[in-house]
């Protein structure tokens, strides 16, 4: 027994020695010279203001704090000249000359703004998303920024939550692939290259499941649900090598994420082997006081002991950790470990070799908002649009048509970029009115606002915190409507651009209703009464309840908030230069009363057939359980036909594989792209299985009349899930499979895992 214990001790010592040998000599040398105060200073992240703050606090006396060695990084500052000044303070005016990290929220592009992430996700094109992140990194680093607070990968199934706009939707598999694409795009393969930057996966964890869809609210769920449905995208980002993780505002198992040791150490580091650093969200350490966890010194100690490395803006670490060390509630070794992680990130960026490597004054003009970058943003936007409904072949529009272009968003430059575009320039956005002129100069376009986004002055005030996004006209609603109807009556076709202002979604933009405002609904109803063909261009940052609009005799194109090239991209699609191929990445409800509604829900012991009302079944009295529009849904100007779906074998072993295939044919009159989706259903499990799960997808291009065979290879790894002991296992049994153009695809067969 003693011999066994000695062997174990030797093994552990060997592991610790190996880990120590992996340490970076430059960093270890520096740590050996640092005082406790200097180490604590590296854990402090400040903002001098000037950008979009997401809290009430803006850092004070930043210059003095940098010179005193009390700052490890800055955000909210950009431009080589400005950053050089701050970096010179850190390098030249401090004892050890440690350079600063320079962070920023580059959420969907830097100056070249891409569609909001929920929109870009609808492209289902991983190569395109990775390239968009590469362009964002190239532009941001040209402006001196080396650390990005993106990607946000929170699974979101409640569209009342405004930050659903920033993520990839409801599905852990798709969300994981998108997380990987963004991390690879931002970081590349070599972080020492000046066109790459540190990525930050956020918000760790479960932020998208806030109760009531209300931002910053509490989250409570089982570990099984966490591991199977909410944690996979974070883990995918970690496995892809993400450099940093941002803790979330919410609590997890009753402990706020920024002070949650199970989350930040047991799970993230010990189980997932994450070796980067963890930064808090904006003042989230301080906010633990309001959560009820103690005073600033107590919550700061709790956070660093839990595994948080850097304190964003709140300065709790800076002002209390030394006292906590003196009192014995925090060890200096804990602070040293956190400091090491920050220094290692700076080393990986090459900042110790050249603190000014990102400060090339020639780069901004060459790399930012280039024609090439804008052209690619236009491509991403086109691929993000989802055709929700087509009526009487009105689309695509003729380029010589007489068009009434109406609606409060048709000529609204300030609403094109979308929420969380603090680095974008609204003045450079292309409006839809301008896009029509650029793409179809021979069309006769008459513009009329037609309605306000909302007539509610209180709502408008709440939305307009960062500038006017909702403009209420001096003209009366009746006068606006009359103008639109006059334009419609004189036109061949009406294009009505309706939906949400940009800041109706995003952070601190939760809503209790998902309907388009009544001011716009009234306009749309009256336009339909004219008898003219109507196309609704729907702009939003979340799924909306458009049950009424789907029943109208109109076509509907969902365009999200498309970014700097919005108008050109929308016109490209409406006039047929590109055939829409986007697919929804989140289910659209019939009513807020259904929320949450998502495709991978579980059956109950009393499942409803949904065909007719049955008492004592799991369903509503007043509407079906099903969403209005399912996950994966999206139409095209052409049509696609799926052939028989088959499996290469009836069974497979744990080390084997099965190929599932089908043939897809373009049966319409236009060339087009289709996202072919594979779903599986585990019929019998040790824990209740979802009704179906996305396990693969391919985006294919088909010319009219063309057919292609699409194959998916399934291995036991694709069949794994976390059981009640949180072991990742594949259990033997029968699995059904379906392939189609949305999550409504019907099961076509089954195979057995032996």
SS3 state at 379: helix
The first and second tokens of residue 170, run together, are 């409801």
Instruction: Kindly tell me the burial class for residue 482, based on how many C-beta atoms sit within 10 Å of its own C-beta (0-12, 13-18, 19 or more).
Output: middle
The first and second tokens of residue 245, run together, are 């993780």
**What is the C-alpha separation between 376 and 379, in angstroms, rounded?**
5
CB 490 within 8 A of CB 404: yes
Q: Which residues pair with 246 in a beta bridge?
A: 279
Instruction: Kindly tell me the burial class for residue 715, based on how many C-beta atoms sit within 10 Å of its own C-beta (0-12, 13-18, 19 or more).
Output: middle
Of 167, 209, 162, 211, the residue nearest 500 (C-alpha): 162
Kindly give, in sequence order, each residue whose CB lies less than 8 Å from that of residue 277, ignoring residues fewer than 6 positions away: 243, 244, 245, 309, 310, 338, 341, 342, 344, 345
**Ramachandran category for residue 522: left, alpha or beta (phi over 0 → left; psi -120 to 50 → alpha):** alpha
> How is the beta sheet containing 73-75 ordered, strand by strand?
147-148, 101-104, 73-75, 44-46, 311-312
DSSP conformation class of 3: H
CA distances from 660 to 647, 718, 732, 750, 751 (A): 4, 13, 19, 10, 10
Q: For residue 678, report the phi and psi dihedrals to the nearest 5 degrees.
A: -110, 130
SS3 state at 185: helix
Q: Which of 125, 143, 215, 281 is catalytic?
A: 281
Of 467, 471, 446, the residue nearest 457 (C-alpha): 471
Q: For residue 427, report the phi and psi dihedrals to the nearest 5 degrees.
A: -65, -20
**What is the C-alpha separation between 154 and 492, in angstroms, rounded?**
44
Alpha-helix runs per DSSP H in 543-621: 547-551, 566-574
CA distances from 105 to 52, 397, 422 (A): 9, 38, 7
DSSP conformation class of 721: E
Of 106, 253, 85, the residue nearest 182 (C-alpha): 106
**Residue 147 CA to its chain's centroid (Å):** 17
281 catalytically annotated:
yes
Of 143, 692, 114, the residue nearest 364 (C-alpha): 143
The first and second tokens of residue 116, run together, are 């909001």
Show which residues are catalytic.
Answer: 281
């Amino acid at each position: 027994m003693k011999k066994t214990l000695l062997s174990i001790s030797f093994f552990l010592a060997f592991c610790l020695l190996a880990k120590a040998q992996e340490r970076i000599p430059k960093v270890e040398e520096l740590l050996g010279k640092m005082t406790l105060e200097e180490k604590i200073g590296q854990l402090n992240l400040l903002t001098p203001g000037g950008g979009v703050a997401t809290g009430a606090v803006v850092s004070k006396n930043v210059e003095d704090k940098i010179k005193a060695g009390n700052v490890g990084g800055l955000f909210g500052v950009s431009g080589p000249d400005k950053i050089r000044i701050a970096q010179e303070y850190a390098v030249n005016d401090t004892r050890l000359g440690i350079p600063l990290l320079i962070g920023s929220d580059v959420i969907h592009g830097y100056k070249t703004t891409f569609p909001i992430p929920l929109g870009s996700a609808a492209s289902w094109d991983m190569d395109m998303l990775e390239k968009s992140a590469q362009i964002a990194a190239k532009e941001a680093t040209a402006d001196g920024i080396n650390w990005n607070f993106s990607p946000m990968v929170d699974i979101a199934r409640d569209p009342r939550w405004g930050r659903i706009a920033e993520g990839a939707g409801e599905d852990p598999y798709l969300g994981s692939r998108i997380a990987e694409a963004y991390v690879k795009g931002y970081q590349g393969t070599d972080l020492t290259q000046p066109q790459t930057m540190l990525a930050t996966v956020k918000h760790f964890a479960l932020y998208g499941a806030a109760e009531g869809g209300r931002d910053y609210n509490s989250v409570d769920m089982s570990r099984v649900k966490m591991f199977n449905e909410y944690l996979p995208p974070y883990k995918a980002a970690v496995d892809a090598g993400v450099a940093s993780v941002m803790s979330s505002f919410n609590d997890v198992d009753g402990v706020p994420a920024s002070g949650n040791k199970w989350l930040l150490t047991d799970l993230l580091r010990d189980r997932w082997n994450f070796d980067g650093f963890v930064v808090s969200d904006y003042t989230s350490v301080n906010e633990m006081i309001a959560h009820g966890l103690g005073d600033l010194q107590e919550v700061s100690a709790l956070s660093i002991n839990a595994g948080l490395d850097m304190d964003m803006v709140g300065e709790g670490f800076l002002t209390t950790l030394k006292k906590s060390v003196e009192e014995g509630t925090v060890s200096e070794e804990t602070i040293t470990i956190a400091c090491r992680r920050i220094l290692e990130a700076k080393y990986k960026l090459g900042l110790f070799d050249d603190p000014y490597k990102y400060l090339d004054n020639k780069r901004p003009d060459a790399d930012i908002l280039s024609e090439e970058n804008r052209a690619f943003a236009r491509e991403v936007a086109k691929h993000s649009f989802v055709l929700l409904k087509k009526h009487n072949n009105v689309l695509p529009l003729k380029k010589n048509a007489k068009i009434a272009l109406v609606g409060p968003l048709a000529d609204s430059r300030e609403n094109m970029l979308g929420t969380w575009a603090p680095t974008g320039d609204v003045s450079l956005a292309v409006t839809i009115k301008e896009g029509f002129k650029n793409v179809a100069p021979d069309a006769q376009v008459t513009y009329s606002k037609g309605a306000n986004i909302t007539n509610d002055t209180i709502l408008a005030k709440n939305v307009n915190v960062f500038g006017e996004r909702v403009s209420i006209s001096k003209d009366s609603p009746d006068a606006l409507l009359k103008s639109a109807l006059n334009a419609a009556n004189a036109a061949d076709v009406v294009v009505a651009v309706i939906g949400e202002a940009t800041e109706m979604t995003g952070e601190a933009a939760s809503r209790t209703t998902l309907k388009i405002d009544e001011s716009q609904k009234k306009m749309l109803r009256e336009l339909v009464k004219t008898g003219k063909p109507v196309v609704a261009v729907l702009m939003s940052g979340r799924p909306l309840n458009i049950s009424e609009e789907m029943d109208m005799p109109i076509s509907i194109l969902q365009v999200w908030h498309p970014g700097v090239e919005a108008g050109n991209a929308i016109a490209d699609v409406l006039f047929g230069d590109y055939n829409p191929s986007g697919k929804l990445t989140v289910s659209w409800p019939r009513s807020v009363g259904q929320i949450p509604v998502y495709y991978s829900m579980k059956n109950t012991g009393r499942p409803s057939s949904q065909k007719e009302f049955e008492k004592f079944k799991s369903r509503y009295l007043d509407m079906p359980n099903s969403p209005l529009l399912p996950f994966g849904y999206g139409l095209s100007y052409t049509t696609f036909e799926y052939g028989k779906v088959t499996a290469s074998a009836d069974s497979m072993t744990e080390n084997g594989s099965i190929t599932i295939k089908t043939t897809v044919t373009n049966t319409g009159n236009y060339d087009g792209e289709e996202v072919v989706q594979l779903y599986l259903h585990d019929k019998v499990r040790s824990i209740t299985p979802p009704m179906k799960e996305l396990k693969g997808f391919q985006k294919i291009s088909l010319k009219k009349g063309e057919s292609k065979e699409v194959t998916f290879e399934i291995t036991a790894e694709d069949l794994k899930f976390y059981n009640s002991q949180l072991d990742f296992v594949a259990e033997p049994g029968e699995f059904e499979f379906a392939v189609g153009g949305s999550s409504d695809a019907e099961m076509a067969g089954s195979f057995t895992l032996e």
